[in-house]
Structure 1
Amino acid sequence: MNIDSLVQLSIKMLAVLLVATGGSQIYGQEISSPATEVPKFDVSLGYNFLRSNAPPSGCSCFDANGGYASAAFHVTRWLSFEGEVTGQHQTNISNLGQSLTLLTFAGGPKVSYPGHRLVPFGEVLIGGAHGSDSYFPTGTTYSSTASSLTLSTGGGLEVGINKLISVRAFDVQYLKTELPNGTNNTQNHLMASAGIIFKFGDVIKKPATIPYSFVREDNIALSCTSSVSNLDQGDTLEIYGSTLTEPDKLEVTYDWISTVGKIVGTGHRVMLDTQGVPPGNYHVIGHAVTVGQKTMSADCDIPFRIKTEQQTVKAPTPVPAAPETPRVKEFHENVPDALFDYDSAAIRPDTQTAINHAAVYLQSHPDIYVMVGGYADDRGAVVYNLKLGERRAEAARMALIAAGVSPERVQIVSYGKEVQVCTAENETCRQQNRRAAFNMHP
C-alpha cells in the first residue's frame, strides 16, 4: 500500500471516529452506555477499501474502492451470525490496462463485547468471490469473469450513538481468494471498512447483577406453651411466651387474645380463667412486638379444650396391694418405688440404678407382671397432677423396657394427688408422694 492510500484511509477512519464519539447528546438526549442493550438484528452500510495483489507478476499491488452491506442476527449479547457483501472496482490495475470488479459474499460467526460505548468485535466469514471486467488466464485460454471460494477474518471497533444507531469506526480483515491468475491462483488482500449500523428488534438485556453485601435482617420469633391442653370447666390455663430477636435481647411487649374466658395478667406469662366456658375447642392467640419497631412482630396460637363432664379425668380406684406374702415381700425388696423431683417426670440417676436392679429381678422371674402407679404430691390442680402421675408412670415403664423387660408385662395407671402415702406438709413427706410405685399385677 502506498503512502497516499494509507494517509487517505487514516483520514477517513479518524473522521468517522470523531463523528461517532464527538457529541454526548443526540437530539437533545444524553447518551448513557447505549451498547448495554443489544437488539437482536442490525444492518450496516458503508465504505470499503481493498489492498490487493491480484496481478500475478510479483506484487504489482493496487488499491480498490467500494462499499459493503451486512446484516447480523444476535443469538446472545456477545454472539451473532453475520452475512456480508462487499464490492470494489479499480481501473488500470496492471500494465495490460485491464480493470477489476471484485464482489464477495460471505457469512459466519461474530463475537463482540457489548456493555460500553466502545464495542470491540471479531469475525470469521466464509463464502464466495466473483471477479469481472478483467483478465483471468486458464491454461491456453482466458476469461473476463471468474469465481472462487473466499475466506476473511479480522475485527474492529463499533461506537454506540444511541440505542438504535452505532458507527463501525473501523473493520480490518484479511481476505483470501483463489481466482485464476496463471501462476498459483491465490490472492491475499487487506480489506478495511467503516460505516453506520442500524439496530432493531427485541432487546437482549444485560443480566442484572445483585451487589453482595453483609446486611443483617432484623427479625423476631415467638413461641408459646401452656400448662395443659385439656382442662375442666373453671380450671385455670397457664400460658407462657418466649421470644428470640435479631439483634439479640430487644425489648418486647406481649398481647394475648382469647375468644372465651378471661385473660389475667400481662407480659410473657398470663392466666386464662375458664369459669363458665362451655365444653369445646378454643384458641389463645399471642402477639409480640419489639418496642420502637412496630413492623417487627410475631404471633403464636395455643389450642386448648374444655372437656365435657363425661370426659373429665377421674382418679381411678387404687389397685389393692397384694397380700404381704413372702413372694410379694421379695418383689418389693427387689423392685422399689421410683422417686421424682418436683413437677418432673425425668428419671434421676438414683432411680435409674434402682430400675436396672428391678429389671434384672423381673428378667429372672418371667411369670411376674407389673402395674406401675403414678403419683404426685398435694400441690397443684387435680387434672394437672393426674397428667403428671401418668407421665411418671410411663417414664418408669419405658425405663424398665429399656433395661430388658418385655413391654407386655408392664402396665400403667395414674392416681395423681388423690392417693397420698404421707400427709405431712413438708418436703420429706412430699418426696414420698412424688413416685412411681411398682406392684405385682395378677
Structure 2
Amino acid sequence: MQNKTPRYLAVNLLESIEQQQRYANLSLNHLLQHERLSDVDKHLVTRLVYGTIQWQLRLDYNWRAFVKTPDNLPIWVQMLLRMSLYQLFFLDKVPAHAILNEANEIAKTRDHGRYVKLVNAVLRHVQRAGEQDYQQIANDVERLSITSSVPLWLTQRLVEQYGFERCKNMLAVVNQPPHASARVNTLKTNRDEMLAELATTFTDIKPSEVSPVGLTAAGGNFAQTTAFKNGELTIQDESSMLVAPSLQVEPQHQVLDACSAPGGKTTHIATYLDPEQGGSITALDIHQRKLKLVEDNAQRLGVDDRLTTLPLDARKVDQTFADETFDRILVDAPCSGLGLMRRKPEIRYAKQEQDIARLPEIQGDILAAAAAKLKVGGLMVYSTCTILAAENQEVVQNFLNNHTNFTLTKVKAAQDINWAGDQEMFQLLLDDYQTDGFFIACLKRIN
C-alpha cells in the first residue's frame, strides 16, 4: 500500500485536528495544497474528513459498542474506525470489503501493526450488526444528540430554548453540505451581470433569497474566479449580508466596526459610504494580523479610500474615542460561533458549556464601551453568528436594562425579507433559508 492514499491522508488529518484542536477547513486546505492529488482524490479526502467530523458522535456510538475500553485506544485508531464507519453508513458506492481492506492496510503502517486485529474485528462486527437501533435510547434528547451528532449539553440547551420539534428540524440540516455563497460588489458591477458571467463556471448559480446582493451555488469555489480577484465579488454567507443594510448607513456617515476581521461586513458597509461626502469607517480588531485581512479585502474591493484600521480591544473603545463620534456602530461580537456548525462541523465539539458562560460578559462590555461613542439618534447594531439566547437576546436585554437612553428598533433586513418572527431580536436558524445561524438587533440612542 502507498502510504499517501486519500484514506491514509484523511486519517492522519483527522488525528491532527483531534489532537491539536485545529480548524478542519484550514488543515484541509493546507493538505490539499501540499499533496499531489487528483481532483477525484481531493474530493474524496474532503468528503471523508468533513463527513467523519460531522457524524462523529453517531459513528462513535456504533463502534464503541464493540470495544471494552475505547478511550484507551490511540487517537489514530479511533479516527480510522470513525472514518471507516462513515464510509460503511454513508458512502453507498464504496464496497464494504474495500473499506475493510484499506482500513487494515492503514492499520499495518502504524504502531508496528499492533492494532490490525482489533480494527478488523470491530469493523466486521459493525458490518454484520449494521447501524445501531437508536430507538433503544429511551431519552428523546439523548437520542437526538446521537442521531444528529450534536453534543448532549448543546442539544439540551437548544431544546430548552426552541422546543423539541423546532430543535429537531434545525438539527436535521446541521450535517447537510453548506452551499457556496458570495456578495456582489455593487461599486463595480451588479448581480445580473455576475449571474451571467459565472453561469458557465457554476451551472447551479442563482440569486440569494435572503440578500439582494447575494449569489449562491451548491458547490464550487467563488474565490477561484476572476470576478473575485478583480474585486467584483467577495466570499460571505448570506445571513451576514443582512448586517450592513440593517445599519441604514448614509453616504456621509462616520461608522465604527468594533470587531471587524476578516472584513466581510466592514467592506459591505463601506459600499454605502462616499468619501467625497466625508463618509468613512473605522475598523477595529484586537490583532494587527487580522486587520491585515481587512485591509487586503478593502483594497481588492476598492473601498480602502474610506477605511481606517486600528488595533484595539473593543472593550477599550470608551478610552479611545470622544463621545458621540459615530453615526453608526457595529458590534459583531466575539461569540461561540455555533451558528456555523454546518460550515465548521468541529466547532460543536470544541465548545464547552463553560466557554459559553464567559462570553456574555465580554459581549456586554463591548456594547457598553461603544454606547457613549454613538451620536444621539444614531444606530448601533449588535450581531453574532450563534443561536444561543445567552449570547443574543439576553445580552441585548441586559444592555437595555442598564442603558435607558437606548431602545430597540425593527431590524431593516428582517423587514426586507418579510420575516414572520421577531423583527427586533432577529434570529435566523440553520434551517431558515439554509444559511448560517445568525442574530441581529438594532439599538437606537434616543437621548
On whether the aligned pair clears a TM of 0.5, the verdict is no
More strand by share: 1
Q: Taking structure 2 as the reference length, what is the TM-score of the superposition?
A: 0.21
Instruction: Give the TM-score of the pair, scaled to structure 1.
Output: 0.22
Higher normalized helix content (fraction of residues): 2
Structure of higher RCO (CA pairs closer than 8 Å, 6+ residues apart) = 2
